[in-house]
Structures are given as C-alpha cells and as structure tokens.
Chain A
Amino acid sequence: MTEESKPTLNARRAFLAKLGGAATCAGAAMGAATLGILPNATAKSEPGADGASFPNENYDWSKHEWAFGVDATKCIGCLRCVEACKRENDVPQNAHQFRTWVERYVHLEGDDEVHIDSQQDPVNIEASGSEKTFRFANRYKDAKVYKAFFVPKLCNHCTHPSCVQVCPTGATFRTKDGVVLVDETYCIGCRYCVQACPYGARFFNEEKHVADKCTWCYHRITKGLQPACVEVCPVGARMFGDREDKQSPISLFIRNNRVQVLKAEMGNAPNVYYVGIDKEVN
C-alpha cells in the first residue's frame, strides 16, 4: 500500500471532522428530546394528573366497569330505542347508519330459511313513511308464522376490540371503564375500523367525516344516567350497569341467566350479554 498523498489525507481529516460535527449535533438534539426540554405532556393542573378523578371530578372512570344486557325475549320491536339514540347522539338522519338497531327474525311454516329484516329494509322504510322515523312493517301478519322474535343490536364494546387494534392513529380506544370511544377530532376517516368490526356496529359519519358508533351514551352514564336506548325501552329489554356493583341489574342479569354473546369465536370478548337469542343470530 502506497503512502497516502497529502490531499487525500486532508480530505479524510475534513470528512472525519464533518462527521464528528454531525454526530455531535444529532446527539445534542436527541439528548434534548430525551431530557424533555421540548414540550411535555402532563401539566399538574389537568384532571387525571397524580391519580386524580378522571375524566372529571364528579366521575372517576377507574371505579366502574360497564356492561350491557339484552333480553331479546322481551323486545317488542317498537324501535323507540333506535329513534331515541338518533336524537340523543345526533346520528345522521337516514335508514342506513345506526348506532343501534333492531333485527327481526321470522320462521314461516314449511320454510327452512329464516327471514331477517331491519331498519334499512325498503319495505320497513315505506311503512314508517320516511328515513327519519322507524317502524317494522307488519309484513307477516297474514302469514303462517312458526317462530318470530326481535333482537336489538348495538356496539358490543369488546374487551379485545378489532376496531381499536386496526386504528392507525389511535383515534378509537377503550377507556378504563370499558367503553370504546372515537375521538372525532383525531380520526382521519380511513374506515379500517368499519371494515374490521365483525358486528357491523361502526359506520362513517358523512357529516363529520369520521368513524362513528354507539358510545353507550358515555355523556349520560358518566352523569349517573342510563343510555338513551335503555331509558326509553318500554318493556325493559335493554339494561345497563356496573359490573363492579355485584347487585346492579346487569350483574344480576349475568349471574341469574344463561347469557351469551355474539360471535364469541372471533375472540373479541364482547360486553353486551344476550338472553333469548337463537341459533341464527350473529
């Protein structure tokens, strides 16, 4: 190997100097970031800091574990829940996007196939007169009905929600009290969560351009009220409560009944418990 010529040596030194300078700058920046000289997250005065009650002083989410129950043997398919939810939560006024809905299952005599319909069915839309009010058309009143029942549906607020898993930004999440929410200021509207939900509980809100779904009326339950759908149900087919309280209606419902959940095989661990559904309800 020949001795390096001076220009090359100088070039090498210059390069090393430059590299050293770059490394120092990078290191300093990294250090600054790590030390948190840059703006930090929690300020002392914000709720939730140092174990204070969150989300507000009247309600502490760490003290509740919410769950929902549906007794489908009681449901009369009046759809007050659907209407109330739409009004309570500003859900778009149409018959194709719901935070909660009711399905009707009908078996006719001599017919193997089950007939299922819900609020988006054109015949039902016709019966109600518009896409803003809801009603089941009495289409089977002259038929020989072998078996029929109604099943209310809503977001299951799963313990292992598919929607939360797939959200690329963290706009949808599960709270400490077990409610899956959507941050409408952060959602980018990609609708991956709408695809991922096995239950069809989510939809894309065209007015706000974000994903939307049942929140178990979080703004009500954190004030000691019931979700709107539970409140208006005239027959008590829906119930809601705190599993932390072993004597709450929902705890007793789960304890005293053989309850089941929808699509258990998905592994989502839903928190809406059903009594009185049938084999083809999924």
Chain B
Amino acid sequence: MDAILHFAPYTGWVYPNETIVEWSVLIAVYPYLTGLVAGAFTVSSLYQVFGFERLRPVAHLALLTSLSFMIFVPTPLLLHLGHPERAFNSTITPHLTSAMAMFGFFASFYVCLLILEGWFAYRPYIVHQAQQRSDLLGKIYKLLTLGSYDVSEHAMRIDRKWIFALAVIGIPAAHGLHGYVGFMYGSVKAREWWSSDLMAVIFLFSAIISGVSLLAVLYVASCKLRNLAVDLACLKGLAYTIWGFIMVALVLEGLEFANMVYKGHDGIDMIMHYVTGPLLVPYFVLQFAVGAITPFLWLSYMIWRGTTGRALVIGVTVSACLVLFSVFMMRWNVVIGGQEISKTGKGLLSYHLYFWGKEGALMAILVTLAPLALLFGLTKFLPPWAETTDAHG
C-alpha cells in the first residue's frame, strides 16, 4: 500500500474521515463479476431447467463462462482486504448479522455447484478423452473420471437427474451469491444513495442482462474464431432474454430513483445536485441512454422487424456490448457514486481512479479479463461446442 494516502478533494461539508474513499474500483468490479456468473448461469438454466432448446449451442459455454468468472470472483476482494491472509475469519466465525459474512458460504457453495454441474455435463467427454489419451492431459482426464467409465444409458439418466437438480438449486444459489451484494448496499442506512429495499433486486436483474450479453458476445466471437455460422435461433433467444430483462431492470432502477426523489429524505438536495452534476454523464448518459435505452430500442426494432442474418448478429453483438458497459457503469455509479455523496448530506467528494496500484484501473481491467483467458483455456480442455462434444444434456 502506498505510504502517502490519497485524499479525495471535496466540496461543501464532509466528515473528515470520509476524505478517503475506501471502496475502490475493485469493489465495483466484484459485483460485476458475480453478476456475470449469475447471468451466465441463467442462460445455462434456461436450457437445463426451462427447456429452451434453442439455447443448446451456448449451454455448455455458459457453464464454463460461469465457472471461469467464479474462479476469479474472490480476486478483487483479496486485493482490497487489509489482511487477505485473515480472509477466512469470516467463514470460521461468520457474524450472521452481516450480509458480507454470507460471501464465504455462497461463494464456496456456488463454486462447488458449478464444478459439479460442469463435471456431470462433461462426463461423457471426459470419459472418452481418458480412454483415448495417454499423455499428461490424459492423466488429468483419468483423474476426473473418478475411476468410473460408465456411460451406459442408466448412468446417463442418473447424470441428467443430477444436472437438473443442480441447475434448479443453482438458480437460488446464484441469486444468493449476487443478491447478497445488492442487499449489502441496500441495507446501509447511512447512505441515502444506497439505502433502498429494491437494491438487491436491481443488482440481480442487471446481473442477468450482463451475463446473457456476455454469452451473446462470447458466442458470436467463438463462432468467428472457429469460422462457423452463428446459430441465429440461439442468438435470437439470447436477444429476447436480454430485451425482456432490460425492461425489468429499467423499471426497477427507475422506481428506485423515483422513490428516493419522491420521499425526499434529508440529503436529497445534495443527491439531486450530484446526479445532475458530476454524475450526469456516468448515470443518465452512459448507464441509461447509451447503455440501456439504446440497446433496448435497437433490440425492439430488430424484434419488431424480424431482423435476421448478419444485421441481427451485428445488432445483438453491439447491443450486448452496450449492455455490458451499462451494467459496469451501474456498479460504478452505485459503489463509487455512493461514496462521493457525503453522509452529511451537505457535501460531495470526488474519487480519483489511479491507473497503477493494487486497486487501480489496470488491476481492475486485468481482473475482469483474466476470467476470459481462463475460459479460453477451459474451452480447449472441455470444449463446449455442440458440434464437437458428444451430445449430452
């Protein structure tokens, strides 16, 4: 940690201890990652549980994506903690009144669930590879078989039951994993910008659109890399999902803001000043106009016109990218924005994003991209492509 403390400049009146903004960009990245995990898992569940057959081409990719991001979820937290070596204190002696104490349980449970579901989904492939290969990778595959090469119809049936059960359990688990973060913010009565009953739900719905958008982008990218045609039905399915959930997310966020303004608690003047001032661009322009309304309108248009082919691919990809951007801005506007509004209700601070450093922009970018690198590796180890894998639920 730097010897020199970085004090935030401020206007108006703020408590002296507030001049150091404690939760950095990494704390905005963390819910972004768990959101992607939850959202990607939603795609997988739409196929596994709700039977959206059209999403089959991305089902396994969704699982791997969810897992890749899940592995990196603790990273921003560990980088932020004052004593990362004591991180397990919250799991050994979890303080049950604290929403944050839930992290250890949700995270461990969820990573196990993902590994388990992925294992079941890939079992035939693993067994096949274990039987074919004799190199180092072959040994790893052999280990993963747990010594069983049973891919009989009976075993497959049992496997499918497990996958279904895990997918069903995974839905509330994912909601818990990501929802608790939203609850954490929503329950902080000290900050008017955070304190809201709707916060957990807003986080969840924006998580879903981010995860589905991520899948859309990854799917299109993977098709391009493999020189294959994009399954338009699948892409359309993803587009419908994004479109539907954007509506809900927008309604929820709109409601939350409207409630805050309407109730007008002490400090609302400063919030309005902030939202129409320093946060005008990040909030109304980037998060909403560019990142949510635009893709919503574009998707609406494509759905209305029945767009297909290349135009659909481009439209959905760009919309998905905008949504990904918008959801990150939402995390930023909540986490950083909340800290820029003083608890006094009479002042504003300004967070400086440093490029270097343990909690700087570079680290944030690396932490966000690292799961993609892992995913790339995983797709080589456990190919998710419907065309190449043995057909298995």
- Residues of A at the B interface (CB closer than 8 Å) are 92, 94-98, 101, 116-120, 153, 162, 164-171, 186-192, 194-204, 206, 208-211, 266-267, 280, 282
B86 at the interface (CB under 8 A from A): yes
0/1 interface trace, chain B 88-128, chain A, CB 8 Å (1 if under): 01100111011111010000000000000000000000000
B189 to chain A: closest residue by CB: A266
B344 at the interface (CB under 8 A from A): yes
Is there contact, CB below 8 Å, between B22 and A169? no
Is there contact, CB below 8 Å, between A196 and B89? no
A213 to chain B: closest residue by CB: B17
Is there contact, CB below 8 Å, between A169 and B90? yes
B231 at the interface (CB under 8 A from A): no
Where chain B touches its partner, the secondary structure class is: loop
Is there contact, CB below 8 Å, between B7 and A96? yes
- What are the residues of chain B within 8 A of A280 when measuring CB–CB? 346
Is there contact, CB below 8 Å, between A200 and B15? yes
Is there contact, CB below 8 Å, between A204 and B82? yes
A170 to chain B: closest residue by CB: B95
Is there contact, CB below 8 Å, between B1 and A167? no
Contact of B19 among A120, A190, A192, A282 (CB under 8 A): A120
B14, B95, B97: residue with the most chain A Cβ atoms closer than 10 Å? B95
0/1 interface trace, chain B 13-30, chain A, CB 8 Å (1 if under): 111111110110000000
26 A-B pairs whose Cβ atoms sit less than 8 Å apart in the complex: A94-B5, A95-B16, A96-B16, A96-B17, A96-B19, A117-B13, A118-B15, A119-B16, A162-B190, A165-B98, A166-B97, A166-B188, A168-B90, A188-B89, A189-B82, A190-B77, A191-B23, A192-B98, A197-B190, A199-B343, A200-B15, A201-B17, A210-B82, A266-B190, A282-B266, A282-B345
Is there contact, CB below 8 Å, between A168 and B103? yes
Contact of B81 among A117, A189, A194 (CB under 8 A): A189
Minimal beta-carbon separation of A160 from chain B (angstroms): 11
Minimal beta-carbon separation of A222 from chain B (angstroms): 25
Is there contact, CB below 8 Å, between A188 and B86? yes
Given A186-B86, A200-B17; A195-B81 close (CB under 8 Å): no
Interface residues on B, range: 35 or more
- What are the residues of chain A within 8 A of B103 when measuring CB–CB? 168
- What are the residues of chain A within 8 A of B81 when measuring CB–CB? 188-190
B80 at the interface (CB under 8 A from A): yes
B343 to chain A: closest residue by CB: A200
**When A and B form their complex, which 8 residue pairs have the shortest distance between CB atoms, in order from nearest?**
A189-B82, A200-B15, A209-B82, A168-B90, A198-B190, A116-B13, A168-B100, A168-B101
Contact of B99 among A166, A198, A199 (CB under 8 A): A166
- What are the residues of chain A within 8 A of B314 when measuring CB–CB? none
A92 to B20, CA, bound (A): 13
Minimal beta-carbon separation of B356 from chain A (angstroms): 17
- What are the residues of chain A within 8 A of B13 when measuring CB–CB? 116-117
A268 to chain B: closest residue by CB: B189
Query: Given A116-B346, A168-B90, A188-B84, list of 7 further CB < 8 A pairs?
Result: A118-B16, A119-B16, A166-B97, A188-B83, A195-B23, A196-B188, A200-B15
A95 to chain B: closest residue by CB: B16
B268 at the interface (CB under 8 A from A): no
Given A187-B82, A187-B83, A188-B81; A199-B189 close (CB under 8 Å): no
A198 to B15, CA, bound (A): 10
Is there contact, CB below 8 Å, between B19 and A195? no
B191 at the interface (CB under 8 A from A): yes
Is there contact, CB below 8 Å, between A200 and B18? yes
- What are the residues of chain A within 8 A of B83 when measuring CB–CB? 187-189, 209-210
Given A194-B22, A209-B82; A166-B17 close (CB under 8 Å): no
Contact of A203 among B17, B89, B189, B344 (CB under 8 A): B17
- What are the residues of chain B within 8 A of A118 when measuring CB–CB? 15-16
A209 to B126, CA, bound (A): 45
B7, B98, B184, B344: residue with the most chain A Cβ atoms closer than 10 Å? B98
B80 to chain A: closest residue by CB: A190
Is there contact, CB below 8 Å, between B16 and A98? yes
B251 at the interface (CB under 8 A from A): no
- What are the residues of chain A within 8 A of B22 when measuring CB–CB? 191, 194-195, 204
State which residues 23-41 of B face A: CB under 8 Å.
Answer: 23
Is there contact, CB below 8 Å, between B15 and A199? yes
Minimal beta-carbon separation of B181 from chain A (angstroms): 11
- What are the residues of chain A within 8 A of B158 when measuring CB–CB? none
Minimal beta-carbon separation of B308 from chain A (angstroms): 48
Is there contact, CB below 8 Å, between B17 and A98? yes
B87 at the interface (CB under 8 A from A): yes
Minimal beta-carbon separation of A119 from chain B (angstroms): 6
A204 to chain B: closest residue by CB: B22
0/1 interface trace, chain B 132-152, chain A, CB 8 Å (1 if under): 000000000000000000000
Is there contact, CB below 8 Å, between A188 and B87? yes
A96 to B21, CA, bound (A): 11
B16, B77, B97, B339: residue with the most chain A Cβ atoms closer than 10 Å? B16
- What are the residues of chain B within 8 A of A206 when measuring CB–CB? 1, 5
A162 to B93, CA, bound (A): 19
B342 to chain A: closest residue by CB: A200
Minimal beta-carbon separation of B294 from chain A (angstroms): 33
A120 to B11, CA, bound (A): 12
A92 to B346, CA, bound (A): 26
State which residues 159-214 of B face A: CB under 8 Å.
Answer: 184, 188-191
Given A188-B89, A266-B189; A167-B95 close (CB under 8 Å): yes
A189 to B94, CA, bound (A): 15
Is there contact, CB below 8 Å, between A195 and B17? no
A164 to B17, CA, bound (A): 18
Given A162-B189, A187-B82; A168-B16 close (CB under 8 Å): no
- What are the residues of chain B within 8 A of A190 when measuring CB–CB? 77, 80-82, 100
